[in-house]
Amino acid sequence: MKPYIVEEYDDGILLFTINRPEKRNAVNYEIMDGLEHALNLANDEKVKVFAITGAGDQAFCSGGDLSAFHSLRTEDEAFEMLSRMSDLLVKLFYLQKPTIALLNGTAVGGGCELASACDFRIARKNVRAGFIQGTLAITTGWGGGTFVTEKLLPANAMKMLMEASLYDAEQLKDLGFVQMITDGDLLESSKHFLDKMLLLEGSVLGAYKMMFINKWEKACLKERVNKEVRRCSELWEDEAHHKQVAKFLGKK
């Protein structure tokens, strides 16, 4: 089974699906390669909107695959992996067209960072999401902390990051993290959410997106993400993190 699926629709939506439901759609290096491939395809002028979802109905993305990354022990080893994914999420963040995360299931840790890199988020009503990295004695490390400081009110962003908790769909909407809750088909719901945007020329959508990209450039977003990644790498090396990961894997 291929670990990811890329589909293009006639209305201009390009959909990237993480296809590892048996691993709760956790990110490994294959998923990183697939996301890079999809982002390159998204630059095509025929694509108006780039969407991301997960296979199945349990998880959108459970973050990094701990079974794959548990062998990373040192700051430098962690930094190499974290910077690889953060570079991709910055590329997603800066994509010159609207982006949307279709939250089919739980989005935790790095999965919440992946969702935060998108412009919009639609969630099924049973979804829960949160930046739980703090429970593993690390911070966000793919840029998600920086992204939510741009997307949410400061107090709401700080609450989500510092509580390291999961929130239900209604709470996520109240926080401003989710823009729409649905109990129907996610892709069809996204088309309803985006219907007026999809009527416009892609060049118009891109021009408006550039207004935000210019703002983020002036706010030194990429440099801030790099600092976030470096700090997470430092914490990754600490024994406190390795103890919490071992404890988590032991539960499983």
pLDDT, tens digit, 9 for 90 and up, residues 153-204: 999 999 999 999 999 999 999 999 999 999 999 999 999 999 999 999 999 9
pTM over 0.95: yes
Give the pLDDT of residue 170.
Answer: 98
Question: Using CA atoms, how far apart are residues 220 and 215, in angstroms rounded to an integer?
Answer: 9
Question: Using CA atoms, how far apart are residues 97 and 204, in angstroms rounded to an integer?
Answer: 9
Question: Using CA atoms, how far apart are residues 28 and 35, in angstroms rounded to an integer?
Answer: 11
Instruction: Classify residue 72 by its DSSP letter.
Output: -
Tally of CB atoms within 10 A around 12: 20
Please report which confidence band the pLDDT of residue 69 belongs to, taking 50, 70 and 90 as the band edges. Answer: confident
Nearest to 240 by CA among 130, 108, 133: 133
pLDDT, tens digit, 9 for 90 and up, residues 192-207: 999 999 999 999 999 9
Please report which confidence band the pLDDT of residue 246 belongs to, taking 50, 70 and 90 as the band edges. Answer: confident
Locate 160 and state its tokens.
Answer: 């989500």
For residue 234, the surrounding DSSP H or E stretch is: helix 221-237
Domain ranges of the chain: 4-184
245 vs 222, higher pLDDT: 222
Percent of the chain with pLDDT over 70: 100
CA-CA-CA-CA torsion for 129, 4, 139, 217, nearest 10 degrees?
-100
What's the average model confidence in pLDDT over 52-64? 97
Give the pLDDT of residue 252.
Answer: 59
CATH architecture of the domain 4-184 equals Alpha-Beta Complex (3.90)
